[in-house]
Copies of this chain bind each other. A is one copy, B any other.
Amino acid sequence: MAAETKKIPYKIYLEENEIPTSWYNMRADMKNKPAPLIHPGTLQPLKFEDMQPIFCDELIRQELDDETAFIPIPQPIQDFYKMYRPSPLTHAVFLEEALGTPAHIYYKFEGNNTSGSHKLNSAIAQAYYAKEQGLKGVTTETGAGQWGTALSMACSFFNLDCKVYMVKVSYEQKPFRREVMRTYGATVTPSPSMETNIGRAINAEHPGTTGSLGCAISEAVEVATTSEGYRYELGSVLNQVLLHQSVIGLEVKTACDKYGIKPDIIIGCAGGGSNLGGLIAPFMGEKLRGEADYRIIAVEPASCPSFTRGKFVYDFADTGKVCPMAKMYTLGHDYIPSPNHAGGLRYHGMSPILSQLYHDGYMEARTAEQSKVFEAAELFARVEGTLPAPESSHAIRAAIDEALKCKETGEEKTIIFGLTGTGYFDMTAYEAYNDGRMTDYIPSDEELAESFAKIPDLGL
């Protein structure tokens, strides 16, 4: 890899023909593969036909494929990617200056599209495969709203019906998200709703609940499996999603190679793991193959700390227990983050791929409290211009902290972080921060113990 000495522009935009034409599947290079999804009844690994009622056929093939390193991106998906990709890799010169750090900070900005985040990378792929299979529509859940918006946009593009179950607290905090989805023709229902068996049961058991991603997933799966011509699609956690999101990391890698940038530290926020898994994919590949080394840091909310305080066991993927079980870092399928938690990153579990990599020591994880996260977000907005999503701001927080360490030590480390999206629909949270009303929440050990107690002991 002969590093060229081209002058690095403030924003690196690759050429259109440098957009990846294949996704990269980290699993191909993992010695310890992620544990398979299992059936909650039989405890047997799920086979293709077990998943067919829930997922599109081609997506199941991708989900199960632990071997193929590069999977070609179908041309219609490549065409759609050109609408908003390649996304810029930006040299954060103004942030460096504000911090007075010798570190070199770059961020990959995935928010330059109406979904406001990286979620579109997988949404368009999932919608495409649903269309190819001749389906009428798809169902999904959304937390902060990015994934629901992305899937609405993708379905609109391919003329598919889209039913979104939106975590109630986000539905209330973000009425405008709902309208974006409706503008793209989707129907949006606050979850838990009274429209599904599982929604009614959850409402009965937890009256007044503000919902969780786990609940919303259960509802969306119930509707998909009981409606003719529908399947369920998920915006994170699954292997297929990390696969699609690898376009992020592949573009970063191309840009780095083109301009001779050699990252020391790669940082991403982590909820279900889709952005982080996509960002790090090719770098982790090099690390797994022993070709290069990088520090890779996952940053999660202190209020939903699955990597740092969860258990690495088989658990239900959803509150309603209608989904397969996954081996992952989990806080327990019943865990619901405190309602004061703003934005996404509220899933109780974590991508099985990333869970395995973390378990095997290939990456680090840390938490951030949201007041510190918004402090970082405000600084970033003021000096770099872009007002970041609360989720992305977890990565900003860690990037700033690492850059400040460099300031102490004098090290000129190169830090790359994922700026997954914009906060334009998160102004309720910013308002709380601006008004000094933002509070932090760290679950107690007792609270987590109670939640862990509900994870079934499968002896696996």
- A residues sitting closer than 8 Å to B (CB atoms) are 9-11, 13, 15-16, 82-84, 94, 112-114, 116, 153, 156-157, 175-176, 179-180, 182-185, 378, 381-387, 422, 424-425, 427-428, 430-431, 433-434
Give CA–CA (A156, B84) in the complex, Å: 28
Give CA–CA (A385, B112) in the complex, Å: 11
**Known contacts A179-B427, A434-B179; A113 and B16 CB within 8 A of each other:** no
**Known A176-B428, A424-B424; further 13 A-B contacts with Cβ < 8 A:** A13-B13, A83-B94, A113-B386, A114-B387, A114-B424, A175-B431, A176-B427, A179-B428, A182-B431, A183-B378, A183-B387, A183-B433, A184-B381
Question: Contacts of A113 on B, CB cut-off 8 Å?
Answer: 385-386
Q: Are A385 and B84 closer than 8 Å at their CB atoms?
A: yes
Give CA–CA (A32, B51) in the complex, Å: 73
Q: Separation in Å of the A328 CB from the closest CB of chain B?
A: 32
Chain B residue nearest to A176 (CB atoms) is: B427
Question: Contacts of A383 on B, CB cut-off 8 Å?
Answer: 157
Give CA–CA (A430, B183) in the complex, Å: 7
Question: Which residue among A10, A15, A179, A182 has the maximum number of chain B CB atoms within 10 Å of its CB?
Answer: A179
**Known contacts A114-B386, A385-B84; A430 and B179 CB within 8 A of each other:** yes
Question: Contacts of A179 on B, CB cut-off 8 Å?
Answer: 427-428, 430-431, 434
Q: Are A10 and B427 closer than 8 Å at their CB atoms?
A: no
Question: Which residue among A9, A83, A183, A381 has the maximum number of chain B CB atoms within 10 Å of its CB?
Answer: A183
Q: Are A11 and B82 closer than 8 Å at their CB atoms?
A: yes
Which secondary structure dominates where chain A touches chain B? Answer: helix
- Partner among B16, B184, B425 whose Cβ is within 8 Å of the Cβ of A10: B16
Q: Are A434 and B183 closer than 8 Å at their CB atoms?
A: yes
Q: Are A180 and B387 closer than 8 Å at their CB atoms?
A: yes
Q: Separation in Å of the A422 CB from the closest CB of chain B?
A: 7
Q: Separation in Å of the A374 CB from the closest CB of chain B?
A: 9
Question: Contacts of A82 on B, CB cut-off 8 Å?
Answer: 9-11
Give CA–CA (A94, B182) in the complex, Å: 20
Q: Separation in Å of the A438 CB from the closest CB of chain B?
A: 12
- Partner among B10, B116, B156, B422 whose Cβ is within 8 Å of the Cβ of A83: B10
Q: Separation in Å of the A117 CB from the closest CB of chain B?
A: 12
Question: Contacts of A182 on B, CB cut-off 8 Å?
Answer: 430-431, 434
Give CA–CA (A183, B387) in the complex, Å: 9
Q: Separation in Å of the A286 CB from the closest CB of chain B?
A: 28
Give CA–CA (A156, B431) in the complex, Å: 18
Chain B residue nearest to A377 (CB atoms) is: B183
Q: Separation in Å of the A113 CB from the closest CB of chain B?
A: 6
Q: Are B11 and A175 closer than 8 Å at their CB atoms?
A: no
- Cβ-closest 10 pairs across A and B: A176-B427, A179-B427, A9-B16, A10-B82, A114-B387, A424-B424, A156-B382, A179-B431, A13-B13, A182-B434
Give CA–CA (A383, B94) in the complex, Å: 36
Give CA–CA (A433, B16) in the complex, Å: 35
Q: Are A114 and B385 closer than 8 Å at their CB atoms?
A: yes
Question: Contacts of A156 on B, CB cut-off 8 Å?
Answer: 381-382
Give CA–CA (A10, B157) in the complex, Å: 17
Chain B residue nearest to A114 (CB atoms) is: B387
Question: Contacts of A428 on B, CB cut-off 8 Å?
Answer: 176, 179
Give CA–CA (A425, B387) in the complex, Å: 13
**Known contacts A83-B10, A176-B427, A422-B114; A157 and B382 CB within 8 A of each other:** yes
Q: What are 24 A-B pairs with beta-carbon distances under 8 A?
A: A11-B82, A13-B13, A83-B94, A83-B385, A94-B157, A114-B424, A116-B424, A156-B382, A157-B385, A175-B427, A175-B431, A176-B176, A176-B425, A179-B430, A179-B434, A180-B424, A180-B427, A182-B434, A183-B378, A183-B387, A183-B430, A183-B434, A185-B382, A424-B425
